[in-house]
Amino acid sequence: MKFIEQFNKELSRMSGISRSSEPPRYWYHTGNYVLNKIISGSFYKGIPQGRITLFAGPSSSGKSFLVGNVVREAQKAGAYVLVVDSENALDNEFMKAIGVDTEEKYTYVSVITISQAQKVISAFLKAYKNEYGESANAPQILICIDSLSMLLTDSELENYEKGVQKGDQGQRNKQLKALLRSITQDIKTLNVAVVATAQVYKNQDMLNGEGTWIISDAIRYSPSQIILLTKLKLRDGMNIEGIKMKCEGYKTRFTKPYQSVTIEVPYDKGMNPYSGLLEVAKELGVVNQSGAWYTFKNQKFQAKNIEKYADEIIKACEEKQDVYLEAMLQDGEKEDLTEGLSSQARRVAKVAGGIDDE
């Protein structure tokens, strides 16, 4: 076909057109190996370059906590971090507590509206491209948006300042879609990764196949990965010691969707990178369990000593690429479905059941 040569020449002269179709150049660890697995298909990968990854879930499910962990791991990999915060969840005290350096290679911006978020991100990326272009050797950037659900439209803010209660849901959804589409197109050839968070709402029609929680159409299409987070209580006898974070690959581009794992997050220790690994290794047939003891390559150990064997266990698990992972709740366990209660009912539930806010 002789026209192809001429066509390729014309493509090379077209502004904004790219013929690159490469996989992510690099990935950031999420802070937990089994969470990496359900996002990327590998225990060693996590958040990909050039894509948007969304953590979605009800209140207190751990969305902001996971974003903080990703920021810490991205900084370890040498990335500069831009945090766009609409709900004051990623304050410096919180970020420092989980190991984030808020002094070097870090910019925090508090925003209220969708248009403010778009202006901040657009200006940042424009300056980045002016200095580095689309070079594969450009500095690595991580942009965090927490959260999409708290962003207002300009008219919502104006109505609030006037003391007027008036919804703007149609415009809000359109503007969120436009924001995410614009970011998706802007970063796909850059050394930039984006993580964002969003609330979900309860499914009022359980026969529609959506499950317990629904992710708004305004935000579900642009992200390459959506991880649905739900919360279980982590108990020690009758005491609430933390949360069990159930993580499901609601939408994935690099591995099988709807895989799920459960990660324990004790309040006093935070997330262990190996949490959930033994359960997954058992499911993959890499380790065996008898009572409180595990066996791996004729070595017996207890869960508290997993770090000694973790690297070898992860390597063995990584070889079993085609096994589908699905978190199973233990007898009597159920997800926390109190998120839709009124504030008064939540306070009652909090006292009675040990529910903690994010």
Supply the CATH number for residue 173's domain. Answer: 3.40.50.300
Give the number of domains in the chain. Answer: 1
pLDDT in tens, 17-47: 666 668 899 999 999 999 999 999 999 999 9
Name the token pair of 317.
């698990």
**Cβ atoms 45, 27 nearer than 8 A:** yes
**Cβ atoms 228, 215 nearer than 8 A:** yes
Q: Kindly state whether residue 329 falls inside one of the protein's structural domains.
A: no
**Cβ atoms 193, 50 nearer than 8 A:** yes
Q: Which residue has the higher pLDDT, 8 or 109?
A: 109
> In what helix (H) or strand (E) does residue 194 lie, and over which residues does it extend?
strand 192-198
Domain carrying residue 236: 23-273
Q: How far apart are the first and last CA of the chain?
A: 60
Q: Kindly state whether residue 226 falls inside one of the protein's structural domains.
A: yes
pLDDT in tens, 80-135: 999 999 998 899 999 999 999 999 999 999 999 999 999 999 999 999 999 999 89
- 340 pLDDT band, cuts 50/70/90, is very low
What mean pLDDT do residues 219-234 have?
A: 91
Quote the pLDDT of residue 243.
84
pLDDT in tens, 285-329: 999 999 999 999 999 999 999 999 999 999 999 998 778 888 765
Q: Kindly state whether residue 13 falls inside one of the protein's structural domains.
A: no
Torsion, Cα 298 299 300 305, to 10 degrees, reads: -150
Q: Kindly state whether residue 12 falls inside one of the protein's structural domains.
A: no
Quote the pLDDT of residue 2.
79
Q: Kindly state whether residue 177 falls inside one of the protein's structural domains.
A: yes
For residue 164, pLDDT over 90 is answered with: no
pTM (predicted TM-score): 0.86
DSSP conformational letter for 288: E
Q: Kindly state whether residue 118 falls inside one of the protein's structural domains.
A: yes
Q: Kindly state whether residue 333 falls inside one of the protein's structural domains.
A: no
Q: Kindly state whether residue 290 falls inside one of the protein's structural domains.
A: no
